[in-house]
Structure 1
């Protein structure tokens, strides 16, 4: 009997040792991921479906701008699924969604966008679902751009109002890492949201930059001394991280890119967004690492 009990004790000890080692191995594997596995991600993508994607007004022989957007979206979804696969099933409680502002009049586009609101937790997470996300996002977003271009009636993008009225409610969740990716050329203008408070505006256009003499080497001094910039559209957004992709300045002004980025930087800083990056409309192959590093490597 003593021999049996001794053998049983040894067996239990071996099982516990193996179990602890296996759990340690899982943690070690998790720690090789750039992201923190236990973190919940809440990723939002805001599409600018203005005439910046028009094949007639803004053609690009190297790669059309809507194709670049699709490449960026592919990298975003891949980073999201990479994060999900670094977690245990019971830890998963993550979201990815896609927005327009205003909503397009095309009901098909709005219907597609609803399909791209993905919420995954321990109750519905499966290998099949995780493996389907990238293909689904690629297929459905392609339909959105094809429909918008075919319609050729670009309503514009009201990014300022999105921050003013929607970003807190729709893009920020408690106990999540909230990331907003904006695909835009950097200009901001919408007919129904035109506001001006001295040199602060809800918009920025190439004409506005030229009209106010921000197209010279002294642009920065003038921007600071005369307080040019966007009107603040939110307070204390320190729980939101923002990645802007697709900046495409007017080539007639060598200072345009710097002015656009200064506007966005000032705006985000004043709204207390601590982590943000603003990138040009580069080829997706050149932007993939930037996107995945931003999403998978949390900055302090």
Structure 2
């Protein structure tokens, strides 16, 4: 009899324990959703218009790089509008913008990019305006990429300088959830910003990785011991979240992907970025959930 009562008591305690645990999980989930809805988003997209998007230099039979970028941007704008539509009118105060660094020489591209600086608040958040955002971003970004490819003047990607001189002023606003989406293959190079400090640099190319001897099985040990990486930027970006999309390593080095991610991870960590993820190039259909979950 005593054993039976003991078993019943233990069963009841277990039921009560797991019931309380489940309630706690649900409460945490509801709180996270409420916090997300009430947040004001400040989303910035930094586009790398270097020769990585060239149809001649980097053809991709499955889906061209620029088409993948356009798919990623579509997912970002959809996440932004979904967020806006989940808020009460009086809560809306959100922004989305698109950057290049350096700016393309084509004046048409720079003119179009200004149309992609969107600010939404209770005064202009009409249903018509919210419904137009996705089309605005899709059509204008497609025109930008097509113009850049047609011009065939790829001046490189100065992402290091963007972080050094522009991120704090242009991508971070007090009272907002600041998110920076970077579309890049993971390499950085610009003629006007080639700085070296020992084994640290402001740029990264397949040639540099090879020159540094980071194409062998012991690359991680060498990377840590000899202090390779991007030159540290004296900035505290603890109010910024970064999502890097499109990592596309050279096939000549089996360790290239890990090395690129090591450079980025070390650099973003040094700048105290609040939260970051670094993702490989993939089809937009496969990246859609990843992008929307991050945002």
TM-score by length of 2: 0.88
User: What's the offset of the Cα at 1:232?
Assistant: 1.3
User: What's the offset of the Cα at 1:156?
Assistant: 1.0
Cα distance in structure 2, aligned partners of 1:146 and 1:271:
34
Conserved? CA contact 1:242–1:277, under 8 Å: yes
Deviation string 1:241-281 (CA, Å, 9 cap, x unpaired) is 00000000001110000000000000000000120000001
Deviation string 1:36-59 (CA, Å, 9 cap, x unpaired) is 111000000000000000000000
Q: In structure 2, what is the equivalent of residue 154 of structure 1?
A: 154
Alignment partner of 1:242: what SS? strand
Conserved? CA contact 1:35–1:83, under 8 Å: no
Conserved? CA contact 1:163–1:234, under 8 Å: no
Count residues with an aligned counterpart.
266
Query: Structure 1 residues 35 and 140, CA, compared in 2 at 3 Å: closer, same or farther?
Result: farther
Cα distance in structure 1, aligned partners of 2:243 and 2:35:
17
User: What's the offset of the Cα at 1:233?
Assistant: 2.2
Q: In structure 2, what is the equivalent of residue 139 of structure 1?
A: 139
TM-align CA RMSD: 1.2
Q: In structure 2, what is the equivalent of residue 19 of structure 1?
A: none
User: What's the offset of the Cα at 1:32?
Assistant: 9.2
Q: In structure 2, what is the equivalent of residue 220 of structure 1?
A: 220
Deviation string 1:92-116 (CA, Å, 9 cap, x unpaired) is 0000000001111111100000000
TM-score by length of 1: 0.87
Deviation string 1:67-119 (CA, Å, 9 cap, x unpaired) is 00000000000000010011001000000000001111111100000000000
Cα distance in structure 1, aligned partners of 2:118 and 2:195:
35
Which sections of structure 1, spanning at least 5 residues, go unmatched?
Answer: 1-29, 296-300
**1:37 aligns to 2:56 (yes or no):** no
Cα distance in structure 2, aligned partners of 1:107 and 1:114:
11
Structure 1 stretches of 4+ with a deviation exceeding 3 A read 30-35
Q: In structure 2, what is the equivalent of residue 78 of structure 1?
A: 78
* Larger CA deviation: 32-41 vs 178-187: 32-41
Query: Structure 1 residues 227 and 67, CA, compared in 2 at 3 Å: closer, same or farther?
Result: same
User: What's the offset of the Cα at 1:220?
Assistant: 0.3
